[in-house]
A = this chain, B = another copy of it.
């Protein structure tokens, strides 16, 4: 059976990155999506592993050819999710989780209605603030900015089919895995099996 394309979004500080790492580490069902970018490789970064590094011209060719699930510009560089790579993983039965912000996520869902949409949130905004402050690396101004961003993002939650409350990480990892596994039994994903059963019944 093909893998499942999953979009994960959530408030900054909700722990999406850690969740994603744990899923990739704890379960064999997942593949990592390697992004494509026009920015230069940093020291130690490997082409095809950390990113696919390409020129601006190449990137725009790929956009033209509808070769990306989504893309955005950030600090003057393109970033995007190559379709060919993701599709190959899905065909191999691996599920692929894309960590994408709310607007890009909505676009993917519109284009690919079978995408599983999961929103990750801390148990409360109080906890979110405490986590951001606890990092000790960010100014009050930056933290306020993130909380305000969370306010905007919260308006998009209804576009997501599932909400994972990341209170205890181990629990959240298991819940997210359970949500993804359950999708495999969705009627809409079992079209082949259901056709077989119907054919068998037709030919009795």
Binding site for B on A (CB under 8 A): 119, 121, 124-126, 147-148, 150-151, 154, 157-158, 160-165, 175, 178-179, 181-182, 185-187, 190, 193-194, 196-198, 200-202, 204
Select one of B119, B154, B186 contacting A201, CB under 8 A: B154
- Which of the residues B148, B178, B202 comes within 8 Å of A182, measured between beta carbons? B178
Query: For the complex, what is the distance from the CA of A145 to the CA of B148, rounded to whole Å?
Result: 63
A197 and B119: CB pair below 8 A? Answer: no
Given A163-B187, A178-B181, A187-B160, A151:B196 Cβ within 8 A = no
Number of copies: 2
Q: Is the pair B165, A121 in contact by a Cβ cutoff of 8 Å? A: no
Known: A124-B196, A154-B201, A162-B185. 17 other contacts (CB 8 A): A124-B200, A125-B197, A125-B201, A125-B204, A151-B201, A151-B202, A154-B197, A162-B182, A162-B186, A163-B186, A175-B185, A178-B178, A178-B181, A179-B182, A179-B185, A181-B182, A182-B182
Knowing A151-B204, A154-B201, say if A161 contacts B182 (CB, 8 Å).
Answer: no
